[in-house]
Structure 1
Amino acid sequence: MFKLLLIEDDATLFNEIRNRLTQWSYDVYGISDFAKVMERFSEVKPDLVLIDIGLPMFDGFHWCRMIRSHSNVPIIFLSSRDHPTDMVMSIQLGADDFVQKPFHFDVLIAKIQAILRRVHDYSTTEPVTLRTWCGAAVDLDKNTVSNAEGSVQLTRNEIYILKLLIDRRNRIVSREELIKSLWDDERFVSDNTLTVNLNRLRKKLEDIGLDRFIETKVGQGYMAADESDLHDR
């Protein structure tokens, strides 16, 4: 049974979501003291976290930062806010998805199932956890990319995107294919979410001189190139 930590201060909504998730055999935990979210996180050790943005003490963005500084556990934001910057901020902080309230419960379940299935399959069916690319070591287990210039830590989405591109290096991977591979069902995903993840991935790779090896093919998609191939062009 997967354990979910629901960080929601609306008691009525919390109970409704918990009851529905329990029917799907998820073990749902809540927060009683919103000053001690990280203590509760460490105690529960959840497989996935659901966070509201508007919370007592500190907002959901704060707790997302705190969780990300300790763990790569999947995070989904649940919020009634509808401004695009809220979704962009969520993704930039390392969240895996953003669900706007009010939402259809089937959509939330589909997103939770897709993320947990991806995480489970990724950790159990991928025997080779290291890749070499452009002189760098890509560790799929630790979510890091390292070369002579240093090392960068990626989120789960970022490392998954990079893996997909590296495994098909020198071939174009369409945006639609990336979205479908990453989130399973593109109907529930904003195209902007992929853009944010790719921009953030490139920014991190820039720190170790690898950003130029992720090429944008206008109107087609993206491609991970090898250093030798770029030199030949």
Structure 2
Amino acid sequence: MYKIYIIEDDPNISKIIVEHLTKYQFECYTVQQFNHIVEEFQAIQPHLVVMDINLPTYDGYFWSRKIRQLSKCPIIIVSARVNDIDQVHGIENGADDFITKPFSLDVLMAKVNGLIRRTYGEYASSESNSISIANTTLNSDTVRLYTEKHESLLTLKEMQLSKLLFEAYPNVVPRQKLLSAIWDDESFVEENTLSVNIGRLRKKFETIQSRLEIKTIRGLGYQLVEAEE
């Protein structure tokens, strides 16, 4: 299920967007603290962001730039600003699309689906970017981990962690390398953040019945290994 992070300060508009997207099987999250959007983004690891421009503290342009420094996650700006310069400014600051208020929920839905398909699905890069080890394949174009009969959609952080582990196989990936490669600003990372993400990724390996497992190498980092029969 794809995750949508909604950054909107009007609770009525936010509620309408959530209710509509949820009907189409999207997992929606709304902003809780407007001065901690980056931290919330990293905790949620969404597949797409819906962003207003006029927000408390800093505007949507500021937060789009911050998110774009961390991720290629698609961003749709939804705003009452209708000038061409506002739309240009939004795109220049990292947004992928711009919708003016009042807007049609059907148009929003079409744009969300279009960006999801282009980024993760059937219209993603035609050049396969996959790595296979044992019975398991990681495809970073579609952000999926799969075996012959099972597959799991990864969050962006899980995909980045998986890619580092797959590319290093069978060597150990130092903990610091994982942190520095995934989080540009480590001041946002709590001590157990990496461990929590590794734990979630381990469960997904189990869910797809992978023969691979992530082994903790104390004092060093993590290693992808093939489980013994």
Q: TM-score, normalised by structure 2?
A: 0.54
Percentage of pairs with the same residue: 23
Instruction: Tell me which residue corresponds to 2:204.
Output: 204
Tell me the C-alpha RMSD between the 2 structures.
4.3
String of CA shifts for 1:122-161, please: whole Å, max 9, x gaps.
x799965111122122221111122134111111111111
Question: Does residue 31 of structure 2 align to residue 7 of structure 1?
Answer: no
Aligned residue pair count: 165
2:16 maps to a residue whose letter is: K
Per-residue deviation, 1:176? 1.5
5+ long unaligned stretches in structure 2? 48-55, 75-93, 95-118
Q: Is the 8 A contact 2:145 2:151 kept in 1?
A: yes
Contact 1:165/1:224, CA 8 A, preserved across alignment:
yes
User: What does residue range 4-153 of structure 1 map to in structure 2 within 5 Å?
Assistant: 6-9=7-10, 33-38=13-18, 66=22, 69-70=25-26, 78-79=32-33, 91=43, 94-95=45-46, 111-116=66-71, 128-153=128-153
CA distance in 1, matches of 2:194, 2:183: 10
Deviation digits for residues 73-111 of structure 1, max 9, x if unmatched? Answer: 9x89552899xxxx89x83x5459xxxxx9999x96774
**Which residue is equivalent to 1:225?**
225
Query: Structure 1: 5+ residue runs without aligned partners?
Result: 10-30, 42-65, 97-101
Q: Write 1 or 2 for the structure with the bigger share of helix.
A: 1
Structure 2 residue 213 is the aligned partner of structure 1 residue 186? no
Match of 1:17 in 2: none
Q: CA separation of 1:113/1:191 partners in 2, compared to 1, >3 Å: closer, same or farther?
A: farther
C-alpha offsets along residues 209-233 of structure 1, whole Å, 9 cap, x if unaligned?
A: 2375211111211011246xx57xx
Q: 1:70 to 1:76 in 2, by over 3 A?
A: closer
Amino acid at match of 1:187: S
